[in-house]
Amino acid sequence: MLSERRLEVLRAIVQDYVGTEEPVGSKALTERHRLGVSPATVRNDMAALEDEGFIAQPHTSAGRIPTDKGYRLFVDKLAGVKPLSTPERRAIQNFLDGAVDLDDVVGRTVRLLAQLTRQVAVVQYPSLTRSTVRHVELLPLAAARVMLVLITDTGRVEQRMVDCPSPVSEESLADLRARLNSRVVGRRFADVPQLVQDLPESFEQEDRGTVTTVLATLLETLVEETEERLMIGGTANLTRFGHDFPLTIRPVLEALEEQVVLLKLLGEAKDSGMTVRIGHENAHEGLNSTSVVAVGYGSGDEAVAKLGVVGPTRMDYPGTMGAVRAVARYVGQILAES
C-alpha cells in the first residue's frame, strides 16, 4: 500500500502537470509544494509510484507525468469536486434562463459548458423513451396524407409524414386523435406500444387500415429516435490540446463527428452520479488520450439524458466535474419549469 506521503506526491504531480503541461521533476515539486522532505526522498517516492504504474517518464532524464492509472487514483481518492463560484453560478442561470425552446436550451447548454470548462461539450437531447407523452397530434394535409406530431413533457417535438392506404375523413381523424391521446398522454414513451396495441380493433372496418398505418409510424418513430440526438460544441478548444496536434486532434474530431460513438460514450456513463472515463478506459480508440466526464440530467429525480465534456486526460478534474455537475442541475431545473 502507498504511504500517505506518496499519495501526496502523486497529487502534487497531477496538479503541477495539469498546470504546466510539462513533466515535473523532484526538485520543482519540493519547491512548489511544502512536502517537508528533500528532493532525494521525493525521488524515491516517485520511483515507487512508477513501479506501481501511477506515473511514467516520457524518456530517461525527464520528469514524470501521471498515467491513466495515476489520474484514476487522483480522481477516486485524492480530489474532490470543486464547487463553482457564486458569479459562475449566476452566469449559468442568466445564460440558461433566456432559452425559448428545447433546441435553444440544448444549444445554450452546450455553449455554456464549453466555455466554462474550456473543453469540448456534449449534450444529449432528452430521450424519448424516458420522457412522457404530452400530446399526439394528427394533421390532415391531403385526403390520404397525415402528419403525425409527437410532443414530450421535456418539450421535444418529432414529426412524421404518414401516407394512409385510403382517404380519411376529418371526423375519423379527430376520433383517432382523441382516443389516442386519452390512452397515452402522461404515460412514458416506453409504454406506448402496449397501450395502443388493441386500438385498431375498436375502429370501423373502413378506417382500420389508416389507424394501423398511423400507429405503425408512431411506433417506428419511437424506435428510430431511441438512437438519440445530441449537440456538441467547443471543438475549437481542442487546439489547446498539445503541441503535437495533427495526430492527437484528428481522431478526436473524427470520433466527435460520429454521433453513434458519442452516444455510446454517454450511454456507458452511470445513470446517476458522475462518471469519469480516463484515457484508455474509453472503448473508442480515437479517444484513448482523452477523458470524458459525464452526468445524467433530468427534470425530476430521474435522468432523461446525459451531458458531459471531452478533454485531454491532462485536465483539471475537480473544476471540470464541478462545472458539469452544476450545469446539469440548472438544465434540469429549466426543463422542469417548461
Q: How far apart are CA 271 and CA 242, in angstroms?
A: 32
| # binding residues, DNA (CB under 7 A) | 25
**Residues 266-325 contacting a copy of itself, CB under 8 A:** none
Q: What is the amino acid identity at position 229?
A: R
By CB under 8 A, tell whether 250 contacts a copy of itself.
Answer: yes
Q: Cell for 207?
A: 378506417
Residues forming a β-bridge with 312: 290
Pair 251, 285: CB distance under 8 Å: yes
User: Choosing among DNA, a copy of itself, none, which partner's interface includes residue 158 (Cβ < 5 to 8 Å by kind)?
Assistant: a copy of itself
At a CB cut-off of 8 Å and minimum separation 6, what does 16 contact?
A: 24, 28, 29, 32, 33
Residue 195 touches a copy of itself, criterion: CB under 8 A? no
Binding mask 3-42 for DNA (x = CB under 7 A): --x-----------------xxxxxx-------xxxxxx-
The site map against DNA for 264-283 (x = CB under 7 A) is: --------------------
- Burial class of 94 by CB neighbour count within 10 A (0 to 12, 13 to 18, 19+): exposed
**Distance between CA atoms of residues 160 and 143, nearest Å:** 16
Give yes or no for residue 22 binding a copy of itself (CB under 8 A). no
Nearest approach, Cβ of 38 to DNA (angstroms)? 3
Considering only 98, 182, 243, 285, the residue that binds a copy of itself (CB under 8 A) is 243
- Least Cβ distance, residue 282 to a copy of itself (angstroms): 17
Q: Report strand pairing: 133-142 vs 120-124.
A: unpaired
* Ordered alpha helix ranges (H), 167-204: 170-184, 192-196
User: One-letter amino acid identity for 43?
Assistant: R
The residue ranges that bind a copy of itself (CB under 8 A) are 100-101, 103, 134-135, 137, 139, 141, 147, 149, 151, 155, 157-161, 224, 229, 233-236, 238-239, 243, 245-246, 249-250, 253-254, 256-257, 338
Q: Which positions touch DNA (CB under 7 A)?
A: 5, 23-28, 36-41, 43-44, 46-47, 50, 57, 59-64
